[in-house]
Amino acid sequence: MKFSFLIFIFFAGASFLGINQDEHLNLKPDTASKYTIVIHGGAGNISKDLPENEKQEYINSLTEALNIGKEILQNGGSSLDAVEKVVRYLEDDPHFNAGKGAVFNSAGVHELDASIMNGKDLSSGAVTLIRTVKNPISLARLVMENTPYVLLGGEGAEEFAKQMNVEIVPNSYFDTPERVEQFKKLKEKSGTVGCVALDSYGNLAAATSTGGLSNKMPGRIGDSPLINDGTYADNNTCAISGTGIGELFIKNTVAFNISALMKYKNYSLQEAADEMINKRLKPGDGGIIAVDKEGNYVMTFNTIGMFRGAANSEGVFEVKIWE
């Protein structure tokens, strides 16, 4: 009887102090609970004549990234942790235009962008014009969790990175032979990586990272570090990460409008994605990945291809490049 009384006092006190009892006891949800994760490695004019060995390299990278996020979610981890860890992996993979392997601007320098958003409370963090931070997505999360701001850029963001003791690298770290060759030929290339997830707590999160457009003007900022344009998450609707021509995603506020169409017009996730990508934007402009609060997901694009993949608690596991 005395033991039961003490338990009552503990929970009553926790409730009075505003402590979430599940979080206080570090309780995890049933690992069989619903989760969904979707990733992308950029959309664009991806040739269907891609050599088989190169195609397999992309498939292997996407598969590994998807498995990283899936493992976190199926073990009761948060959607926020999942999207950050997946995007960190893609930033470290030289196949993609984010982090290692990012494209050069017209001055021959890498300038990186990233953003992350928590659908639970709309908290957001983003960084832009990053030159020396190895994993911009993790710096974006630190902006979200350790400052009152949403977006930090340039020298201020670099200084904040030093204060947070994140890994700093020389700008040349981001070079790869392929990107050097593209720069020499002044070949335009865009691309972005991203991840969206629904965890077993019902929380949505989204993350996006990019090296931007190759041969871009120094200081150019696209949609990837901009909440509402390239990244958005709201537990009431969905989580979105975009890839494509950033200026058009900004002008059309693509990510937010997908959520808004669901919230105010009662569109389904697929209907909202089709409205923005296939009706508002033009063929070749880009694509998005998204997951809604029920775990439904879409990978909608109007380009030749989009590196992408999805997995969920119902056994779905797919990785694709073209239709």
Structure tokens of 288? 């998005």
pLDDT computed for residue 170 by the predictor: 97
| Class of residue 296 by CB neighbours under 10 A (exposed 0-12, middle 13-18, buried 19+) | middle
User: Catalytic one among 36, 128, 132, 192?
Assistant: 192
pLDDT computed for residue 188 by the predictor: 64
300 has catalytic annotation: no
10-residue block means of pLDDT along the chain (323 residues)? 40 38 41 86 94 96 98 98 98 97 95 98 98 98 98 98 97 93 75 96 98 95 98 98 97 98 98 98 97 98 98 97 93
Domain 31-320 = CATH 3.60.20.30: yes
Structural contact between residues 179 and 104, judged by C-beta atoms closer than 8 angstroms: yes
Structure tokens of 204? 């949505």
Calculate the CA 218 to chain-centre distance. 24
Structural contact between residues 225 and 61, judged by C-beta atoms closer than 8 angstroms: no
pLDDT computed for residue 323 by the predictor: 86
- Domain limits of the chain? 1-29, 31-320
Cβ contacts of residue 44 below 8 Å, gap of 6+?
189, 190, 191, 243, 244, 286, 303, 304, 305, 306
Tell me the helices (H) and strands (E) count for the chain, helix number first: 10, 12
Measured CA to CA, the distance from residue 40 to residue 225 in angstroms comes to: 16
DSSP class of 190: -
**3-state secondary structure at position 43:** strand
Strand partners, 212: none
pLDDT computed for residue 10 by the predictor: 37
Q: What is the radius of gyration, based on Cα positions, of the chain?
A: 20
Q: Is the pTM of this model over 0.85?
A: yes
